[in-house]
């Protein structure tokens, strides 16, 4: 019997080669640098979460995509499927004595089951922030601006933000006492952006003419400041007043910061995870067909525990940002400043010189194969070193190789 000597990799995951790993870490460091400059403190949570924290229905849209398994004692564990609940757990269990609101930052992986046919990854890398314990448009605005600033920091400037508001649709449907089953169907059509099916369903199941007309016009509620008033006209007081106060403040605050050209409202927009309670958003760039990130407000997520708190947050896709860097040719080989060889009689001197270079922040490989000057130079070129040095009785031999590196970019992607 012949065995496959190739070690297998699970579907839906990715190995990062040195140049990709280096670029990925650079992206994460830039994003975390912005978060830290805004006072967000990094926390690290376990990859494993208790299955009890993810009961049925706690996060609609995520239930069937969670990896669950037994812990050997009759309980269940899950691979972390998102960051929101782990951070909320950390805050309520460990940080209750700290002054609120809490500003927390994170980076790492989450796991979600996806069918092989979808082409989506099952291990997803994200970075983001959560503002826990703060209500209102100013907190919402902070999260949205922070997410944009983080993307600016990684060189993405041509950004468009689509803003929705789950409270608008919920208030509209509740004001007409629409049954739960019908509400859920309408929400599902909107999440899928299936407006043809939505119109047919509303026509068959909604009898109230004014509500039917409002739902028919939902896909048209897109645009700038005027769109807010058009949406508000479909609501009755006092809901209309509360909605206007919140969303207008959000718009004006973003405009004051110079982002009016980056944002647009779409009141037919709903995110896949239905735990959001207020404003929601996704960020796009014209050169990429998927959202680079998104977030929103979720004030009722923790109502099932003893410490409910208002919260708003965002997550950015490290995977998508890395793909954009790759497309733009921004992923280069990992910098190697020096490859150093030596004659055995000059080993002690070479060690001193190498130690000095490394202490100044240079990446240095010290030859361990005893290569001579010519072989060492050839190896330095193969490794992409910027400079070759060789210590010998004739003194220091040095050659600048930076011109030889022109045009060299990233490692080839690992397909296995």
Which of 49, 414, 81, 73 lies closest to 273 in space, CA to CA?
Answer: 81
**Which has the minimum average pLDDT: 15-19, 213-217, 245-249?**
245-249
CA distances from 64 to 54, 55, 61, 183, 274 (A): 11, 12, 7, 21, 14
Question: Please, what is the Cα angle at 409 between 405 and 410, to 5 degrees?
Answer: 135
In the predicted structure, residue 188 carries a pLDDT above the cut 80:
yes
In the predicted structure, residue 410 carries a pLDDT above the cut 80:
no
30 vs 368: CA distance, rounded Å: 35
The DSSP output letter for 299 is T
In the predicted structure, residue 375 carries a pLDDT above the cut 90:
yes
290 vs 284: CA distance, rounded Å: 7
Q: What is the mean pLDDT of residues 195-201?
A: 95
Which of 105-109, 249-253, 305-309 is the most confident on average? 105-109
Q: Where in the chain is the domain with CATH 3.40.50.800?
A: 338-405
In the predicted structure, residue 36 carries a pLDDT above the cut 90:
yes
Strands (E), 203-256: 222-223
In the predicted structure, residue 306 carries a pLDDT above the cut 70:
no
Which of 245, 317, 316, 321 lies closest to 279 in space, CA to CA?
Answer: 245
Residue 53 has what pLDDT? Answer: 86
Residue 151 has what pLDDT? Answer: 98
pLDDT tens for residues 140-182? Answer: 999 999 999 999 999 999 999 999 998 899 889 988 999 999 9
Mean of the per-residue pLDDT values for the chain? 90
pLDDT tier, 118 (very low <50, low <70, confident <90, very high otherwise): confident
Q: First vs last Cα of the chain: how many Å apart?
A: 23
State whether CATH 3.40.50.800 applies to domain 338-405.
Answer: yes
Residue 145 has what pLDDT? Answer: 95
Assign 358 to helix, strand or coil.
helix
pLDDT tier, 59 (very low <50, low <70, confident <90, very high otherwise): low
Q: What is the mean pLDDT of residues 198-207?
A: 94
Residue 400 has what pLDDT? Answer: 96
Residue 55 has what pLDDT? Answer: 79
Q: Where in the chain is the domain with CATH 3.30.930.10?
A: 18-327
pLDDT tier, 406 (very low <50, low <70, confident <90, very high otherwise): low
pLDDT tens for residues 234-286? Answer: 888 787 888 888 899 999 999 999 999 999 999 999 986 667 888 999 999 99
Q: What is the mean pLDDT of residues 117-121?
A: 80
For 18-327, CATH number out of 3.30.930.10, 3.40.50.720, 3.90.1280.10, 3.30.360.10 equals: 3.30.930.10
In the predicted structure, residue 409 carries a pLDDT above the cut 60:
no
- 287 versus 37: which is more confidently predicted? 37
Tokens of 370: 């005893």
Residue 381 has what pLDDT? Answer: 96
209 sits in which H/E element? helix 209-216
Residue 311 has what pLDDT? Answer: 93
Residue 101: is the preceding peptide bond cis (ω within 30°)? yes
CA distances from 147 to 43, 177, 261, 302 (A): 18, 36, 16, 23
What percent of the chain clears pLDDT 90, i.e. is strictly above it? 71
What percent of the chain clears pLDDT 70, i.e. is strictly above it? 92
pLDDT tens for residues 376-391? Answer: 999 999 999 999 999 9
Q: Which residue has the tokens 């190498």?
A: 354
pTM flag (> 0.95): no
Q: What is the mean pLDDT of residues 125-133?
A: 97
Q: Which residues on neighbouring strands pair with residue 78, listed in sequence order?
A: 49, 68
253 vs 79: CA distance, rounded Å: 38
Q: What is the mean pLDDT of residues 341-369?
A: 97
Within 8 A by CB and 6+ apart from 33, the residues are 153
Residue 241 has what pLDDT? Answer: 82
Q: What is the mean pLDDT of residues 302-322?
A: 85
């Amino acid at each position: 019997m012949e065995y496959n000597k190739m070690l297998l990799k699970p579907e839906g995951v990715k190995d990062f080669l040195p140049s990709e790993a280096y670029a990925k870490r650079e992206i994460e460091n830039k994003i975390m640098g912005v978060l830290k400059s805004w006072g967000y403190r990094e926390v690290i949570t376990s990859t494993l979460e208790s299955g009890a924290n993810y009961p049925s229905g706690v996060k609609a849209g995520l239930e069937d995509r969670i990896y669950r398994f037994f812990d050997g004692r009759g309980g269940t564990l899950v691979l972390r499927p998102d960051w929101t609940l782990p951070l909320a757990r950390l805050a309520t269990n460990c940080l209750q004595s700290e002054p609120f609101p809490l500003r927390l930052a994170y980076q790492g992986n989450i796991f979600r089951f996806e069918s092989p046919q979808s082409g989506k990854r099952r291990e997803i890398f994200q970075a983001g922030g959560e503002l826990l314990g703060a209500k209102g448009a100013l907190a919402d605005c902070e999260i949205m601006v922070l997410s944009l600033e983080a993307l600016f920091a990684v060189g993405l400037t041509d950004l468009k933000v689509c803003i929705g508001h789950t409270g608008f649709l919920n208030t509209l449907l509740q004001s007409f006492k629409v049954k739960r089953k019908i509400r859920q169907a309408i929400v599902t059509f909107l999440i899928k952006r299936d407006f043809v099916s939505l119109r047919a369903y509303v026509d068959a199941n909604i009898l109230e003419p004014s509500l039917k007309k409002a739902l028919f016009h939902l896909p048209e509620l897109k645009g700038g400041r005027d769109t807010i008033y058009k949406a508000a006209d479909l609501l009755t007081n006092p809901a209309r007043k509360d909605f206007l106060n919140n969303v207008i403040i959000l718009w004006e605050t973003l405009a004051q910061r110079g982002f009016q050209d980056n944002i647009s409202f779409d009141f037919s927009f709903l995110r896949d995870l239905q735990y959001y309670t207020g404003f929601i958003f996704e960020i796009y760039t014209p050169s990429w067909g998927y959202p680079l990130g998104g977030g929103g407000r979720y004030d009722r997520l923790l109502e099932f525990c003893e410490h409910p708190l208002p919260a708003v947050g965002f997550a950015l896709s490290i995977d998508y940002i890395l793909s954009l860097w790759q497309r733009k040719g921004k992923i280069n080989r990992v910098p190697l400043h020096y490859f150093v060889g030596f004659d055995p009689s000059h080993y002690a001197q070479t060690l001193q010189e190498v130690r000095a270079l490394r202490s100044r922040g240079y990446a240095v490989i010290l030859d361990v194969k005893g290569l001579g000057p010519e072989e060492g130079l050839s190896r330095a070129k193969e490794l992409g070193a910027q400079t070759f040095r060789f210590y010998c009785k004739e003194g220091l031999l040095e050659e600048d190789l930076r011109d030889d590196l022109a045009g060299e970019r990233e490692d080839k992607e690992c397909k296995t």
